[in-house]
Amino acid sequence: MTKKKKSRIRPGKMVEFVLQSLLKKPATVNYPFTKMPMPDKFRGKLRYDAAKCIGCMLCVKDCPSGAIKIKKVGEKRFEADIDLGKCVYCAQCVDSCPKKALMATPEFELAQIDRNKLKVIFDAPPEAPGGTEQKAGGSQ
Amino acid sequence: MSQSIEIKTELENKFDWLKDQVRITRENRLWLDVPADKFFVIFDYLISLAGFKELCTITGTDEGDNYGLMYHLARTDGKVLNLKTLVPKEGGSMKSIISYFPGGTIYEREINDLLGVKFEGLPPGRRYPLPDNWPEGEHPLRKGWQPDKLSKVEGIKEAGEERLNMPIGIRSEISQPTDFSLIRRRDDVQISIGPQHPALKEPESFNVTLQGEKISGIEIKLGYNHRGIEKACEQRSYIQDVYLVERICGICSHTHSTCFVQAVEEIAGLQLPKRAAYIRTLVGELERVHSHLLWLGVAGHEVGFDTLLMYTWRDREIVMDILAMLTGNRVNYGINQVGGVRRDVTAEQAADILKAVDQLEEQTKYYIEVATEEQTLIQRLSGVGKLSKEDVLKLGTVGPTGRASGVERDVRRTDPYAAYGELDFKVITSDQCDVYGRAVVRLLELMESYSMIRQVLKKLPDGPISVRAPRRIPAGEAISRYEAPRGEDVHYVKSNGTENPERVKVRAPTLANLQSVTKMLEDRYLADLPIVIAAIDPCFSCTDRLIKVEDKGLMTWEEIRQYGIEWYKKQGVDFARMTGKIGRSKE
Ligand code: SF4
Ligand code: SF4
């Protein structure tokens, strides 16, 4: 059945290669002590700038997983509530936002044992611009 | 379009009542609605005389008082004729087409399960894709059906008494202490492999009947991964659906999103910018490279050649890093949007890709050398999982599995999409018809992919990477095909003028290929099963797309841990005692 080309068949073809590898550096990285840099376009944890938001709700409408909520907390003051457990890190909200109030950051180590800690609330600024992230885990 | 018009005129000449019935939406796409009583006259004609010898899939739709059944028939030159007929909901049924396409069984079962259309002549067998204990009369793809309705139906029946849900062959014997005399008295033995099994990478179950060590029968049960994506698509907007279909599969994510947006773009009449088409092709080929390298490793692993697994997966990281750099993520690239792509390729990136491709090419050449010279590998794979050319055509096998049996079937060539029409590449085939052939085809395809990536980067046209797409897509329908690493992927999209699609139908390549597994394993040894299954490069999350989400409430970490400990205690394993020392030192 096999097309036999007797002269070319060499058992243990990879032995040489394997022995060479013994002398090479490991191909893996010693995580978490060494970390790989994230690519520029990486879509990690979102950042919300409350000062820029106009409350148009396009991000809420387009989010495929219902992970983001925008709440009106006062006259022209909005607050974002992002569920990192639901977010699929597609950054569609970033694309949809007409005011560039949302941004994807390179932050990717987001695993939590407590589900409540996956909720992140970005407060509206009291008066001054610049949204601040409330303590993680503050689910209202 | 001339050839499409020819088909149309021929049909009209033959059947004068078809005058002006055939619609041609674009080159290669014909649509025809026929009444149910005349369906088989046309169906028969198309297959036997007009050359439509492939069945892409069957789409079932819920249309008021009727069910629509659309048979997507394809020709080797890329023409797809969508033949549709209506079946009344009240007491209607359709004749099965399995005498024409034995591979059509699974498509009919799917429609039967999800919509409740009856098919006369469909042989009895396990249902697909819903679980065996799914309540009767619940058909999730019907328009009015809501997922939350299920919780009101009296829970889901426990299937124990029907020996259904449990894939283990001799179930009654299992639930009581096994009566070995009973098994020994039978001359065949049934073994269940899966849904969780070390040889399988995803949940699916194979019920294998053995005579001695030889397989005499095999029953496949799928659906463990079904996530209701088709239904969910109908409830979301086109923008959201792109990300949803992307998650049908982690390996072919670009495949599904491209296939979907192509269909939507066709309905909306959007002209895809050239640059976007090239970038889609680029990511598509990089995806093929990563998928084929992944397969090579898995195949090596299944035959006990783990060295190959380690090295191919190490090299696969090169292409994963390139994909991450290009799109922003290793898997689920999120590069597609309706109307184009979301990210551009810079000159530095192009240079990096070329460097990586050189490196990969060198490695691949080495693997080709290994595959053609390493005696153990050749002898292990040759003659295993034989599938003849005739069977490929009959069962509708696609992709490298079909090409390894000498069938030159590749959507990139026959029905070009994105930028494939402008690239120079060979369709790799082999006459080996076995697992070895499938390995060689994939390895040589890698070389073609490298060449295509270089061509894309060289020819990459300037210009915009997307056009503005409307949120509301005008009413219409389209069928889109894409050559996934595993074979032809088909998406059918029907729109109704709103922001959400009316129907999205996905036929992933594994569903088409899986039916050939039974054929390949006929009269083979049980030990060949893992590699034969692996050789079609199965992807069951693509194949299955629906599951019921059971609302048990959330369990905390501590509760899950406790649940696990209790469960094992009941089985007689007491972790507390076994790991007392470790536990104490941790706490
Ligand atoms: S990144 Fe995607 S999933 Fe996450 S909040 Fe934005 S749109 Fe939603
Ligand atoms: S899309 Fe932007 S501006 Fe609109 S609500 Fe969301 S964050 Fe605010």
**Residue type at B298?**
V
| A88 is a domain residue | yes
Chain position carrying tokens 């083979």: B524
**Three-state SS across B327-358?**
HCCCCCCCCEECCEECCCCCHHHHHHHHHHHH
Order of strands, sheet of B189-193, starting from the edge strand that comes earlier in the sequence: B189-193, B205-211, B214-221
Residue B415 and residue B330 share a domain: yes
Q: What angle do CA B320, B201, B212 make, to 5 degrees?
A: 145
Q: What's the gap in Å between the CA of B446 and the closest CA on chain A? A: 20
| A112 is a domain residue | yes
Residue B66's domain is classified under what CATH number?
A: 3.30.460.80
Q: Do B334 and A10 touch (CB under 8 A)?
A: no
Residue B375's domain is classified under what CATH number?
A: 1.10.645.10
Residue B566 and residue B419 share a domain: no
* Chain A interface, best mutation among B375, B500, B558, by max A CB count within 10 A: B375
Residue B261 and residue B236 share a domain: yes
Q: Residue-wise pLDDT tens for chain A (140 aa)? A: 444 444 454 556 778 888 888 888 888 889 889 988 888 889 999 999 988 999 999 999 999 999 999 998 888 889 999 999 899 999 999 999 999 999 999 998 998 888 888 888 887 776 544 445 554 443 33
- CB-ligand 1 contact for A90 (6 Å cutoff): yes
Using DSSP, state whether B569 is helix, strand or coil: helix
Q: Detail the DSSP E strand segments found in B105-252.
A: 118-120, 189-193, 205-211, 214-221
Please, which residues bridge with residue B208 across strands? B191, B218
Interface of A with B in 63-82 (CB under 8 A): 63-65
| B470 is a domain residue | yes
Give the CA-trace dihedral at B554, B558, B560, B563, to 10 degrees.
-120
| A2 is a domain residue | no
Q: What are the percentages of helix, strand and coil residues in chain B, rounded to 5?
A: 45, 15, 35
| B245 is a domain residue | yes
Q: How far is CA B359 from CA B166, B353, B368, in A?
A: 48, 10, 15
| B193 is a domain residue | no
| B463 within 8 A of B276, measured Cβ to Cβ | no
Residue B98 and residue B57 share a domain: yes
| B434 is a domain residue | yes
Last residue of a domain, one of B124, B155, B171: B124
Residue B437 and residue B343 share a domain: yes
Q: What's the gap in Å between the CA of A23 and the closest CA on chain B? A: 15
User: What sign for the dihedral angle of Cα A46, B272, B330, A66?
Assistant: positive
Residue nearest to atom 2 of ligand 1 (CA): A90
Interface of A with B in 34-63 (CB under 8 A): 39-43, 61-63
Residue nearest to atom 1 of ligand 2 (CA): A97
* Complex ipTM value: 0.83
Q: What's the gap in Å between the CA of A127 and the closest CA on chain B? A: 35
H/E run at residue A92:
helix A92-96
This prediction's pTM: 0.85
Q: Which residue of B has its CA nearest to A88?
A: B243
Nearest to B492 by CA among B164, B72, B201: B72
**Residue type at B501?**
P
Residue B585 and residue B509 share a domain: no
- CB-ligand 2 contact for A59 (6 Å cutoff): yes
Q: Is A6 in the B-facing interface, judged by CB distances under 8 Å?
A: no
* CB within 8 Å of A17: residues ≥ 6 apart: B311, B366
Which residues form the domain of A50? 46-122
**Three-state SS across B497-508?**
CCCCEEEEEEEC
Residue B510 has which token pair?
Answer: 């594994």
Residue B385 and residue B312 share a domain: yes
Residue B484 and residue B567 share a domain: no
Domain count for chain A: 1
Please, which residues bridge with residue B84 across strands? B33, B70
CA distance B34 to B14: 14
| B73 within 8 A of B52, measured Cβ to Cβ | yes
Q: Which residues of A touch B232 (CB under 8 A)?
A: none
| B154 is a domain residue | no
Residue B347 and residue B257 share a domain: yes
Nearest to A130 by CA among A44, A53, A45, A71: A53
Domain count for chain B: 3
Residue B301 and residue B425 share a domain: yes
Residue B459 and residue B564 share a domain: no
H/E run at residue B289:
helix B274-302
In sequence order, which ranges of B374-424 are alpha helices (DSSP H)? 375-381, 389-395, 399-403, 411-414
Chain position carrying tokens 């994230």: A38
Using DSSP, state whether A62 is helix, strand or coil: helix
| A68 is a domain residue | yes
pLDDT digits (tens, 9 = 90+) for B291-327: 999 999 988 888 888 888 999 999 999 999 999 999 9
CA distance B14 to B385: 43
Using DSSP, state whether A94 is helix, strand or coil: helix
pLDDT digits (tens, 9 = 90+) for B178-236: 344 444 445 677 888 878 877 777 788 888 888 888 888 887 778 888 888 898 899 89
Of B244, B337, B375, the CB nearest to A64: B244
| A67 is a domain residue | yes
Residue A74's domain is classified under what CATH number?
A: 3.30.70.3270
**Strand B93-95 and strand A102-104: pairing?**
unpaired
Residue B146 class from Cβ within 10 Å (0-12 exposed, 13-18 middle, 19+ buried)?
Answer: exposed
| Angle subtended by helix axes B306-327 and B274-302, to nearest 10 | 160
Using DSSP, state whether B421 is helix, strand or coil: helix
Which residues form the domain of B572? 555-587
Nearest to A88 by CA among B513, B329, B146: B329
Residue B78 and residue B26 share a domain: yes
Interface of B with A in 417-446 (CB under 8 A): 436
Other C-beta atoms closer than 10 Å to the C-beta of B569 total 13
| B329 is a domain residue | yes
Residue nearest to atom 3 of ligand 1 (CA): A87
Q: Residue-wise pLDDT tens for chain B (587 aa)? A: 578 888 899 899 888 888 888 999 988 899 999 999 999 999 999 999 888 988 999 999 999 899 999 999 999 888 999 999 999 988 888 999 988 888 888 899 899 989 989 999 888 777 788 877 777 788 888 888 876 666 544 444 443 444 333 333 333 333 333 344 444 445 677 888 878 877 777 788 888 888 888 888 887 778 888 888 898 899 899 999 999 999 988 888 999 999 999 999 999 999 999 999 999 999 999 999 999 999 999 888 888 888 889 999 999 999 999 999 999 888 899 999 999 999 999 999 999 999 999 999 999 999 998 888 888 888 888 988 889 998 888 888 899 999 999 999 899 999 999 999 999 999 999 998 999 999 999 999 999 999 999 999 999 999 999 999 999 999 999 999 999 999 999 999 999 999 999 999 999 888 888 878 888 888 888 888 888 888 887 776 666 543 333 344 556 667 777 777 887 787 777 766 665 555 444 44
